[in-house]
Amino acid sequence: MPRSVAYSAYRLYRFMRTLEIADFSGGWNTKAAPTLLGVNESPDMLNVTLDEQGSFSKRLGCQAYGTAVPASGTPTVIFWWESGGQMLAQIGATVWASPDMNTWTAVGTFSTPDRCGFTDFAPSTTPTLVIGHPIDGVYLWQGTGTWTLATYTDNGPLPKGNRIATWQNKVWLAGDPSFPSRLYASNAGAPGQWSPNTDYNDMREKDSAPITALVSGQGRDQNAAPGLMVFKESWWGRVSDPKAGTTFGQYTTLHNEAGAAGPEAVTTATTGQVVSVHAHGIHMSDGVNPPTYVSQKIENVFAPGYLNLAKAPIWNCTFWRDRILISLTRSGSSYPDFTLEFHPGLGWIVPHSFGFTSLTHSHLGNESRVFGGSTSDGRIFEVFKGWTDDGQTIPAHYQTRWYAVAGGYTVRLRRTRMVARGDFNVFIKGDQTEDQGASYHFTGDLPTIWGNPEHPFSDFFSPGVAKTWAWRVEENSQTAAYGRTLLPSGQPEEIGSFAVYGFSSDYMRLGYA
């Protein structure tokens, strides 16, 4: 008797199939429905970072740098003065400087503890650090002694402000409480001399809201002219004319909604892209074209229920290698306690559990480094250094999206083979359960072939039956890990204590259920 069609179809379900997952480069997505995320996106992750090959690994820690603190209190703002080779830190009303963060000297003391701003002015003569303060004015410091107050060359009042940048051989300044939307510039080549009666412009494209930040743009327009990026809370403009005269400070509006929350809420990536953050999210521009919105995958994070938007003016960011770090204040916190890592080239965003009062990039010791100001005392931390956060373990996890591996039909998952390194827990979860699911452990002993560590794999069998599946990795340790020594004379690079490069899961469909 011939077999029925139904029986033949039933037999077809008994073939083993394989789901391959080897790309996690989509980053964090908090907006899409669990089963509608991209195949390379995660709805739940913390303290992991991504690489250009699409794998994920645990981030490095935050380690206090130096043996001394400038003073009691927390740093309001820190700044690495590249030309002078010194770290600057404002604590209270005093500005401190140190070449190694072991010995600190006072540069000067303001009349109030209002936040200041720093910029580097390095002509062919002596490099100069220019310091702007919203109450006291503009100060200059050349690395020794105390600072000197800038002067003006006409009868105008001395410019004041803490939004400060160097562009086209001038220092540009905004943030004067008496003229909140006014942009000033120093005399060409002379950051200590200002003509405030003539060299200014009031940026009032749509309102008189205060200027919040300045940064020098890297892109050039059709006339091969660079630009100075000027920000308000919800406005992004581009100054294209640095010359004195009737066209001084001539500007163009790039966007009427993008903006910067505060003086440190904008930075320039190594690719030349300008990145800013404010209460509505993160925007990016090449400095010529209108900025694009790049945080749409996590736009619901920028809401009062998750972030303390009242503290947005103290949000801060800087670049690190090809990434951007953005420190934010979570709901219930009065200081930055949460950081987003954003890759301008690949577009992904991942969250980290640390935060700093201020971030600055440096080449201290000829290395690309990021430093952050402590939120609890006067210390300064190196970011992505070591394997703890100030001696505390770093809890890390990554969960995949939910996969309907057979189009929503019930399947029996037979085996998951994971390619990874390190030592961590693996949970295989079925049917959108909030429980941990089937629990396994990945053992991270690395075999060595010809002196190079190779990625091991582990097999996890028979987690059960379900229609949708997700895989979750968790780790909480202080385990040190190093990469390969790339050159015979070099030191191995510090790397995260675990990494996952991909996995495959074998399954069988169980009919029409």
| 237 CB neighbour count, 10 Å cutoff | 23
Whole-angstrom Cα distance, residue 146 to residue 96? 10
Those residues of the chain that have pLDDT short of 50 are 1-10, 224, 447-452
Question: Quick one: pLDDT at residue 7?
Answer: 44
CA separation for the pair 63, 381 (Å, rounded): 5
List CB contacts of 276: < 8 A, sequence separation 6 or more. Answer: 213, 231, 236, 258, 259, 260, 265, 266, 282, 283, 284, 291
**What is the distance in angstroms between the CA of the first residue and the CA of the last residue of the chain?**
28
Buried b (16+ CB within 10 A) or exposed e, 110-129: beeebbbbbbbbeeeeebbb
pTM above 0.85, yes or no: yes
Q: Please report the pLDDT score of residue 513 as a whole number.
A: 65
Residue 106, CA distances (Å) to 33, 81, 91, 110, 130 in order:
54, 15, 10, 11, 15
| Contact present, 416 and 429 (Cβ < 8 Å) | no
Measured in whole angstroms, how far is the alpha carbon of residue 68 from the centre of its chain?
Answer: 27
pLDDT value for 488: 78
Domains of the chain: 5-60+397-509 (2.60.120)
Residue 304 DSSP code: T
* Residue 13 confidence (pLDDT): 57
Q: What pLDDT does residue 8 have?
A: 46
Give kind and range of the element (H or E) at residue 10.
helix 5-12
Determine the Cα–Cα distance for residues 101 and 448; give it in Å rounded to an integer: 40
Question: What pLDDT does residue 224 have?
Answer: 45
pLDDT of residue 221: 52
Strands, E assignment, 359-409: 359-362, 369-373, 380-383, 394-399
CB 139 within 8 A of CB 147: yes
